Structure 1
């Protein structure tokens, strides 16, 4: 178990958007969005755990330990919201708005290669991961929800 910070993000209303657009259109929009988000993840030295459709799971603090993992996660979330605002015009040209919700939690998690002899993922598991996922699910469009543990470690990096 290791003290780390995890971030979940999700495009709000994405299922409705996929039902309304052609496959080529949604693939283009989603790939452009994900490309920009992944650049930001790398810039903030996060570990991209998973992309699940329009959802992104990122953790901070492993494989390289960084003491400011909570601050980096919060700064990433802010940059993700800013970049989403910059991408809105492209999505609006297809008749749909682009908004994301983000949840962040800091706590002790299990990290490692999890799976079977046929497939393994380098991932994090545990209750603290579930807390971050629940925060993300409750975040309104354009909102970043963080846990008290994350707040106590990141309150100096942004107005929260």
Structure 2
């Protein structure tokens, strides 16, 4: 037994409609009836039909015109249409030219009618399956395009963020911006800048200054990233880096000191070439450890991630005190390293903005941690 289908029977003679229903309904098919071409088109606009049995000769819109209109509608263009015709060849040719898929002669043979209904309904179902698959494929393609576009946007956003933020901050912003909310944490802050840079900038062409800064920043940036430092900002020749935020790290003092010494060594090597060009430049560095409030500051449309607190001020003041190639740290930081720091004790210094004097050391080297 063939699967039941919905059939629209169209004939202006009620007796013919009753006969068609008597043949088709017992096979489980749902039979809709229309007594005119206009009623047929109206039903097709409202019902989901699998096949149309369409009489040729009807008042008003005849079967040929109805078939042409069915084919002209995008929604029903592939709907199977069987024309019920007289036996002459001219009507059969006209039915095919109007767009009919098949025809049945009057008076129709029941077995032939049922076979044609089953065959065309099967083709309709194939077409419906293909249409549904095409629709699903288009939906999936649209979803894939949307996801690709989102990923490209994310990649472009990350690329832009990495140009202005440290890799750690870029990752945080992409994954969870709530992590940038204000919080308090112990950090190790490193400040460094170039000695004699102001004089160099005053006596050099702007292009020379920019080229040197690009070289200097690129050199520092590679070292900072290698030690997983968080770069807060470049301020001309000045650089501020801190450790233990936004992600806590193991032994931030060790990381900070090793980075500072590597930066000093790298810039010192580069300064040999600068000296040949007539640039009398050197590096000074300050490192401090303490609690700071960290988080996003700024205004809508332009934010920075910053560390606020006396620890940043102390690192900056130590940097300002440093002679060429010195890496200055307070006595408290030396004590946290369990004797691993090799330093030159420089004595007590009064740092601007601090009421208490600070015992200052110049770091020469750092030993590996035992074990």
The structure with more radius of gyration: 2
Per-residue CA distance 1:13-61 (angstroms, 9 max, x = gap): 1010011111111211111111001100011110000100100000100
Structure 2 CA distance for aligned equivalents of residues 73 and 142 of structure 1: 16
Contact 1:71/1:157, CA 8 A, preserved across alignment: no
Give yes or no for the alignment of 1:41 onto 2:224.
yes
TM-score (norm 1): 0.94
Alignment CA distance shift 1:154-1:97 (3 Å): farther
Q: 1:136 aligns with which of 288, 296, 319?
A: 319
Contact 1:114/1:122, CA 8 A, preserved across alignment: yes
Contact 2:286/2:316, CA 8 A, preserved across alignment: yes
More helix, by proportion: 2
Structure 2 CA distance for aligned equivalents of residues 51 and 146 of structure 1: 21
TM-score (norm 2): 0.42
Contact 2:334/2:341, CA 8 A, preserved across alignment: no
Structure scoring higher RCO (CA < 8 A, sep ≥ 6) equals 1
Q: 1:18 aligns with which of 196, 201, 226?
A: 201
Give unmatched runs, 5+ long, in structure 2.
1-183, 344-371
Does the residue aligned with 2:269 lie in a helix, a strand or coil? helix
Structure 2 CA distance for aligned equivalents of residues 80 and 133 of structure 1: 16
Per-residue CA distance 1:71-94 (angstroms, 9 max, x = gap): 111111100110011101221132
Q: 1:56 aligns with which of 228, 234, 239?
A: 239
Instruction: Return structure 1 stretches of 4+ with deviation > 6 angstroms.
Output: none
User: What is residue 7 of structure 1 aligned with on the other side?
Assistant: 190
Q: How big is the shift at 1:114?
A: 1.3
RMSD: 1.3
Aligned length: 160
Give yes or no for the alignment of 1:106 onto 2:289.
yes
Give unmatched runs, 5+ long, in structure 1.
none
Per-residue CA distance 1:104-156 (angstroms, 9 max, x = gap): 00001111111222321111001111111111111111111112332223355
Worse-matched range after superposition: 55-64 or 85-94:
85-94
Contact 1:71/1:153, CA 8 A, preserved across alignment: no
